[in-house]
């Protein structure tokens, strides 16, 4: 290791709910930083203007803190290398691109959409790996400058030289990549905003990151990043690509098979220390094979050598087991406090109480009516779901409705009552399903009850992750249910 002080980072994009993978990668970065008395940085990569939101950014901070992670530098805590939010660094990226243009390492590309489509098609016919063939490389620099000055729309691309690049990964050894696999990647988009590659490399360099420890899914970007470091004349960091978390069937962890939002686990009452313990067990083993331990013990034993590359399975049963072990070890008075905090936290009560105020006659009616919000693994029987539909219904079709409507909800940027209602009404219209029918089916799938507070408000408070999980459970229950008996003839 070079003698520079260790500096590592996580760089989540603030889109959607905070992901368990972010906490996993964050934990490994934190452990490595602490082990080497280094710094752990949180950077927000919000260059995707369409999908990034401040609400999602805040949810990332809150969820990572909930689980017990803390960072030395970041948008919310400041630090000497800020700003730590990429949307506030646009001028830095543009300036760096100007250097690359001046040195000839990058060039403007004026190809428009249809031209690019034509190029890609031709490249496919010629069975070339690259999507872009370098057409605009041939434009003389003076002409290129004049066209840029005249405001002609363009992107800036990296001029990838011929040759090969070796990626040395600390866990995997060397991988050699031939440059004919690597496109002249876009660095600045037409709107003048940077791509992930450019912003990520410039920031890692300027923030003096010594080790990039990230998920395996980014490994294909690494040769591009190494080429960018070379174009700038900078020394690249060390690379560590952590194995991806997996579903039981070994596919990449996804919300279709497992809840992946930290908020979901918080909501059902997973203890944050159990979550952190569980994440620490994914892919990393302790010298004495111990399974129940605290963060400081993990930091003490942490080593890249103890990480196995075999695709750790995100096993929710194991998480519940660990949670149970910790619950049983607790002083009952502490446990009572923890239940109170977890089940009726102040901010949650503030959101939920107005939903029930209209229908309560005594305070004691609140808990039974609102219990569905916090229930882990709500699983409504098929007969009740089918019974929600006037005259019954074919469970396979109802299952399909729930799946399709659920996909609409998953795609929403803001999980607020108005957009939820709009998306569901649009789906009903398109699928030719009466709104009342779908809404009753949703109400039952999400709450287990026929009478609830207003559906869309309830969904917002329940949260995207729990809604998505419950709809999937109900869809699976219906799919497995026997088809209805044909009505007797005559
Ligand atoms: N913004 C990327 C993400 O969402 C960062 C990947 C990296 O760590 O380089 O995870």
Q: Which two tokens stand for residue 161?
A: 């030289």
| Residue 192 CA to ligand 1 centre (angstroms) | 20
Number of domains in the chain: 3
Shared domain check, 60 and 194: no
Instruction: From the CA of 10, give the closest atom in ligand 1.
Output: 8
Residue ranges of the chain with pLDDT lower than 50? 1, 490
Report residue 120: phi and psi, to 5°: -60, -40
Final residue in a domain of this structure, among 242, 270, 287: 242
- Residue to mutate (ligand 1; options 218, 222, 228, 240; most atoms within 8 A of CB): 218
In this structure, the dihedral spanned by the alpha carbons of residues 158, 162, 168 and 169, taken in order and rounded to 10 degrees, is 50
Shared domain check, 200 and 260: no
Shared domain check, 93 and 220: yes
Shared domain check, 224 and 130: yes
Domain membership flag for residue 486: no
**pLDDT reported for residue 2:** 58
- Residue to mutate (ligand 1; options 75, 196, 212, 226; most atoms within 8 A of CB): 196
By alpha-carbon position, which residue is closest to atom 6 of ligand 1?
Answer: 11
Alpha carbons 12 and 346: distance in angstroms, whole number? 28
Catalytic (active site) residue 318: no
pTM listed for this prediction = 0.88
Shared domain check, 391 and 302: no
- Residue to mutate (ligand 1; options 7, 8, 9, 13; most atoms within 8 A of CB): 13
Domain membership flag for residue 12: yes
**pLDDT reported for residue 261:** 92
Domain membership flag for residue 363: no
**pLDDT reported for residue 1:** 47
Q: Which two tokens stand for residue 46?
A: 């919000």
Shared domain check, 212 and 110: yes
Alpha carbons 276 and 265: distance in angstroms, whole number? 12
Domain of residue 37: give its range.
7-87+245-306
Shared domain check, 100 and 233: yes
Shared domain check, 214 and 138: yes
| Residue 11 CA to ligand 1 centre (angstroms) | 5
Domain membership flag for residue 322: no
- Domain of 415: which CATH number? 1.10.10.350
Final residue in a domain of this structure, among 209, 242, 275: 242
Domain membership flag for residue 313: no
Which of 130, 255, 266, 318 is catalytic? The answer is 255
- Residues 232, 237, 242: CA angle, nearest 5 degrees: 130
| Residue 55 CA to ligand 1 centre (angstroms) | 18
By alpha-carbon position, which residue is closest to atom 5 of ligand 1?
Answer: 11
Final residue in a domain of this structure, among 306, 324, 351: 306
Average pLDDT of the chain to the nearest whole number: 92
- Domain of 39: which CATH number? 3.40.50.620
Domain membership flag for residue 49: yes
Shared domain check, 191 and 105: yes
Shared domain check, 229 and 180: yes
With a 6 Å cutoff on the Cβ, whether 45 touches ligand 1 is: yes
With a 6 Å cutoff on the Cβ, whether 9 touches ligand 1 is: no
Domain membership flag for residue 116: yes
**pLDDT reported for residue 137:** 94
- To which residue do tokens 């952590």 refer? 242
Alpha carbons 4 and 232: distance in angstroms, whole number? 20
Shared domain check, 449 and 381: yes
Domain membership flag for residue 284: yes
Shared domain check, 408 and 442: yes
Phi-psi bin for 64: left (phi > 0), alpha (psi -120 to 50), beta? alpha
- Residues 36, 261, 454: CA angle, nearest 5 degrees: 150
């Amino acid at each position: 290791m070079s003698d520079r002080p260790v500096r590592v980072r996580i760089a989540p994009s603030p889109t959607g709910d905070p992901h368990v993978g972010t906490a996993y990668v964050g934990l490994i970065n934190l452990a490595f930083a602490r082990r080497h008395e280094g710094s752990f940085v949180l950077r927000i990569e919000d260059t995707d203007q369409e999908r990034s939101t401040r609400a999602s950014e805040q949810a990332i901070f809150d969820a990572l803190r909930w689980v017990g992670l803390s960072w030395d530098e970041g948008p919310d805590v400041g630090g000497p290398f800020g700003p730590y939010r990429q949307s506030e660094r646009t001028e830095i990226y543009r300036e760096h691109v100007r250097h690359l243009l001046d040195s000839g390492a990058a060039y403007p590309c004026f190809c428009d959409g249809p031209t690019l489509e034509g190029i890609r098609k031709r490249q496919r016919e010629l069975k070339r790996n690259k999507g872009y063939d370098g057409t605009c490389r041939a434009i003389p620099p003076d002409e290129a400058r004049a066209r840029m000055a005249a405001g002609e729309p363009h992107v800036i691309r990296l001029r990838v030289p011929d040759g090969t690049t070796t990626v040395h990964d600390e866990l995997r050894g060397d991988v050699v990549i031939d440059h004919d696999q690597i496109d002249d990647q876009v660095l600045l988009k037409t709107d003048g905003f940077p791509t992930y590659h450019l912003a990520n490399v410039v920031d890692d360099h300027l923030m003096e990151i010594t080790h990039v420890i990230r998920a395996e899914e980014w490994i294909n970007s690494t040769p591009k990043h190494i080429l960018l470091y070379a174009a700038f004349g900078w020394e690249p960091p060390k690379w560590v690509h952590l194995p991806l978390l997996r579903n039981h069937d070994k596919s990449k962890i996804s919300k279709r098979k497992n809840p992946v939002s930290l908020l979901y686990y918080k909501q059902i009452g997973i203890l944050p220390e159990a979550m952190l313990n569980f994440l620490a067990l994914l892919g990393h083993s302790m010298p004495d094979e111990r399974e129940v331990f605290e963060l400081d013990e993990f930091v003490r034993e942490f080593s890249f050598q103890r990480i196995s590359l075999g695709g750790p399975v995100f096993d929710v049963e194991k998480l519940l087991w660990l949670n149970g072990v910790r619950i049983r070890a607790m002083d009952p008075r502490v446990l009572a406090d923890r239940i109170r905090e977890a089940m009726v936290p102040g901010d949650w009560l503030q959101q939920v109480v107005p939903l029930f105020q209209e229908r309560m006659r005594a305070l004691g009616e609140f808990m039974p009516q609102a219990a569905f919000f916090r229930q882990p693994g709500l699983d409504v029987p098929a007969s009740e779901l089918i019974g929600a539909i006037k005259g019954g219904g074919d469970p396979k079709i109802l299952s399909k409705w729930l799946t399709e409507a659920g996909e609409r909800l998953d795609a929403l940027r803001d999980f607020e009552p108005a957009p939820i209602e709009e998306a569901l009404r649009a789906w009903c219209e398109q699928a030719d399903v009466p709104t009342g029918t779908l809404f009753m089916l949703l109400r039952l799938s999400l709450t287990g009850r026929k009478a609830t507070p207003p559906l869309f408000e309830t969904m917002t408070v329940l949260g995207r992750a729990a809604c998505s999980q419950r709809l999937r459970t109900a869809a699976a229950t219906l799919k497995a249910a026997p088809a209805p008996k044909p009505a007797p003839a005559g």
